[in-house]
Amino acid sequence: MASTGLQLLGLLLAVMGWVGGALVCAAPLWRVSAFAGGEIVIAQVLWEGLWMTCLSQSTGQIQCKTYDSTLALPVSAQVSRTLSVLSLLFCLFALLLGVAGAKCTKCLGEGAYSSKARLARVAGALFFFSGLLYLIPICWTAYAVVRDFYDPKVAAPLKRELGPALYLGWGAGILLLVGGALLNAGSSPPGVRATPTFGGGGRSNPLPVVVEEKEYV
């Protein structure tokens, strides 16, 4: 039988990962200015995200600006945008299927246990796939930041460090993976009775023994 506890736990973790992924996608904290030069100046800090850049002044004033042109962005930024949005859309679709297929809901009626189990398993697979899809731009951006930071050909003012959004993105991706796996594991089809084993002490329904009576003359 499907485990309601695993279903609800997996659905909860997946929803938390989806919400966290949406916040990370919108946050301009993917890359932060790195002060790696000889002269350290912290009067301004530049934050870069998928959709905008923000400039933080030492006085506490923050100015944000969206990118002027999408086509002018690097290919990595465009691919990261696309994968992040697709992942969040898949999560929304998976959430609808997960709610409809959860054992504690009555969206498909009380007798549609098999259909509900299949929907919940599909939702778990979609959440897991969305987690993998979401981790691609996170890991790609982190790799590019580390590579440019240690590249001597990149000027010091152009070097960046890992922003806090990347760490939160890793957490959101892991929540999606774990939530999808738990939802899939807790949505096994309705219980199928095990086939009886014959011989030894495992005989469940022994066959009746008919004894024939013979008349002796």
SS3 sequence, 5-45? HHHHHHHHHHHHHHHHHHHHHHCCCCEEECCCCCCCCCCEE
**CB 186 within 8 Å of CB 4:** yes
pLDDT at 43: 65
- CA atoms of 52 and 48, how far apart (whole Å): 6
Read off the pLDDT band of 81 (50, 70, 90).
Answer: very high
- Torsion from C-alpha of 167, 84, 73, 66, nearest 10 degrees: -80
Read off the pLDDT band of 73 (50, 70, 90).
Answer: confident
Q: Which residues contact 97 (CB under 8 A, 6 or more apart)?
A: 119, 120, 122, 123, 126
Q: For 48, phi and psi rounded to 5 degrees?
A: -130, 135
Give the bridge partners for 160, in sequence order: 33
Residues present in the chain in total: 217
pLDDT at 195: 38
- CA atoms of 173 and 162, how far apart (whole Å): 17
pLDDT at 193: 41
Going from the C-alpha of 37 to that of each of 9, 10, 42, 71, 158, the distances in angstroms are 47, 46, 12, 31, 10
- CA atoms of 105 and 90, how far apart (whole Å): 21
Read off the pLDDT band of 112 (50, 70, 90).
Answer: low
Give the bridge partners for 46, in sequence order: 55
pLDDT at 1: 44
pLDDT at 217: 41
| DSSP letter, residue 135 | H
Q: Is residue 194 predicted with pLDDT exceeding 50?
A: no
**CB 104 within 8 Å of CB 8:** yes
Average pLDDT score over residue span 190-207? 44
| DSSP letter, residue 104 | T
Instruction: Give which of 154, 153, 189 is closest to 3, Cα–Cα.
Output: 189
Q: Is residue 118 predicted with pLDDT exceeding 90?
A: no
- CA atoms of 97 and 155, how far apart (whole Å): 49
Q: Is residue 216 predicted with pLDDT exceeding 90?
A: no
Q: Is residue 207 predicted with pLDDT exceeding 60?
A: no
